Amino acid sequence: MTSGTGSPTRRLDPAGPDPAQFRVHVVTQAIRLFSEFGYESTTVEQIAVAAGVSRRTFFRQFRSKEDVIFADHESLLEQVAEYLSQDFDDPWAAACEGAKLVFGHFRDRRELAVWRYRVVQRVPALRERELVTTYRYERLFTDFLRAAVPGEKPVRTVSFAAAMTATHNFLLRAMIRGDDTATAERLEQALFELRRAFGVVPTADGSAGRSATPTPPAVAVVTYPPELTPAEVAEQVRLQLENTHHHR
């Protein structure tokens, strides 16, 4: 078998010792082809050839071309869910750590993230799928917080998860677009400021409250009426973050 350039391509065995790595390999080759030749113009056969697998093997692993684009998100959602399945003294900070895991994953695979970003921006159906995927992360964090802090008002946990997801996504997109200031450290600071705004930073005695330790301001977080939906809260946070970023 040869690749699209005529060079020999070794067939990979998905039943080998690392099936997750196999899937990452196929995803990488597919998104590279989508980025180079266009989503609609790239066939499953071309992906299979580039990845060194048969068409049948491709469809055993992925249901469609659309699925292959977001396949690493599936694995990442599972990893974050596994992380959040632990017991935490500070669930609010743990949720933020989960968001940082997602950011780190794509920071370490920035080239792949850039390819996918370009492809998704060109195809409306993929943009809709991306929105659904974003909501799944938000729902994961919401469900975790509602279980971890059952005495908290649902509107607070839902709003925190929405604002946290919006903060993460803003900096993730900035990083993908090449903004050198969109770093893991900036995300950590932004999420800390968000926890302070919600009053869930532990004090010296371990209770939730505002930290007495001064920290340089990183982002401004909007206040919101309790009747807003999570989507409306997230949109307000996103707009405020953009405004803060443009005035730096």
Could you please report the per-residue DSSP string of 118-146?
Answer: HHHHH-HHHHHHHHHHHHHHHHHHHHHHH
Task: Report the percent of the chain where pLDDT is more than 70.
Answer: 75
**First-to-final CA distance of the chain:** 53
Q: Is 98 helix (H, G, I), strand (E, B) or coil?
A: helix
Class of the CATH domain delimited by 19-67: mainly alpha
> Residues of 27-40 as b/e, b for ≥16 C-beta within 10 angstroms?
bbbbbbbbbeeebe
User: Which pLDDT value is given to residue 243?
Assistant: 65
User: Which pLDDT value is given to residue 170?
Assistant: 96
Which residue is listed with tokens 């060079």?
7
User: Which pLDDT value is given to residue 189?
Assistant: 97
Where residue 247 falls (left for φ over 0; alpha for ψ -120 to 50; beta otherwise) is alpha
pLDDT digit string (tens) for 103-123?
999 999 898 899 889 899 888
Residue 227: closest CA among 170, 153, 166, 145: 153
Q: Which residues contact 45 (CB under 8 A, 6 or more apart)?
A: 55
Over residues 214-236, the mean pLDDT reads 60
pTM, two decimals, is 0.70
User: Which pLDDT value is given to residue 108?
Assistant: 93
Instruction: Report residue 64's pLDDT band, with 50, 70 and 90 as the boundaries.
Output: confident
Residue 131 predicted with pLDDT over 80 = yes
Q: Where are the domains of the chain?
A: 19-67, 70-246
pLDDT digit string (tens) for 151-203?
999 999 999 999 999 999 999 999 999 999 999 999 999 999 999 999 999 86
User: Which pLDDT value is given to residue 204?
Assistant: 56
